[in-house]
Amino acid sequence: MMALLLRDLRLAFRSGGGFGLALAFFLLVAVLVPLGVGPDGATLGRIAPGILWVGALLSCLLSLDRVFALDYEDGSLDLLAASPMPMEGVVAVKALAHWLVTGLPLTALSPLLALMLNLPPGGFLWLLATLLVGTPALSIIGAFGAALVVGIKRGGLLLSLLVLPLYVPTLIFGAEVVRRGALGMSVATPMVLLAAVTLGSLATLPFAAAAAIRISLR
């Protein structure tokens, strides 16, 4: 599994498949929103939690079509399916690689963008916490969606349509935690629900994605 993880990380950095693109898109969202809604600090502070989470969600979405597509095209996916490693493990490793090159860098960059959007100081810690807890769910849900469209030519649009509705609970709970934290309110309920979404996704979706890949390879 470690060899597969390192291979996927090398391919991602060599091809630019997600790392730089996701960060650039996240940065563009933070820069363009103030231009669209105006420079009023109070307004930006109110909408910052939602904008930052929407930006992170869409940034993660950009590279999802590459999770399995390249391996399918060059035959590596057939070799992985025939290897001793269970397909569920392959899915989990690929989701982890996607998170390491997208979710983790986005989390690290988020405080700077939060500062640009005038997020109240009380929300900074909760923004980091929610992204650390929630972005793994984005990656594993995205891997599930990528497994459903593997083998379909130009399936990027279909992938987006499949995955975006599944992202909605993570978006809602993540943004709500940051909003409440910025206002000094209790964040316990949305934070628990966000963690539950992530844990539930990690526990179930690798098996569903593995089943979808096996069907596509028959």
Positive or negative CA dihedral for 115, 120, 125, 127?
negative
What does the buried/exposed string (b/e) look like for 88-101 if buried means 16 or more CB atoms within 10 Å of the residue's CB?
bbbbbbbbbbbbbb
105 vs 109: CA distance, rounded Å: 6
Q: What is the chain's pLDDT, residue by residue, as a tens digit (218 residues)?
A: 777 788 777 777 776 555 678 888 888 988 888 888 877 878 888 899 999 999 999 988 887 877 887 777 777 787 877 788 888 998 999 999 889 989 999 999 999 999 988 899 889 999 999 999 999 999 999 999 988 888 777 667 788 888 999 999 999 999 999 999 999 999 999 999 999 999 999 999 999 999 988 888 77
Joined together, the tokens standing for residue 69 give 């597509």
pTM of the complete model: 0.90
Split into its structural domains, the chain has a count of 1
Alpha-carbon dihedral 98, 60, 203, 111, rounded to 10 degrees: 100
Residue among 92, 96, 94, 88 nearest 69 (CA): 94
CB atoms within 10 A of CB 11: 15
75 vs 131: CA distance, rounded Å: 34
Range of the domain at 109: 2-217
CB atoms within 10 A of CB 171: 18
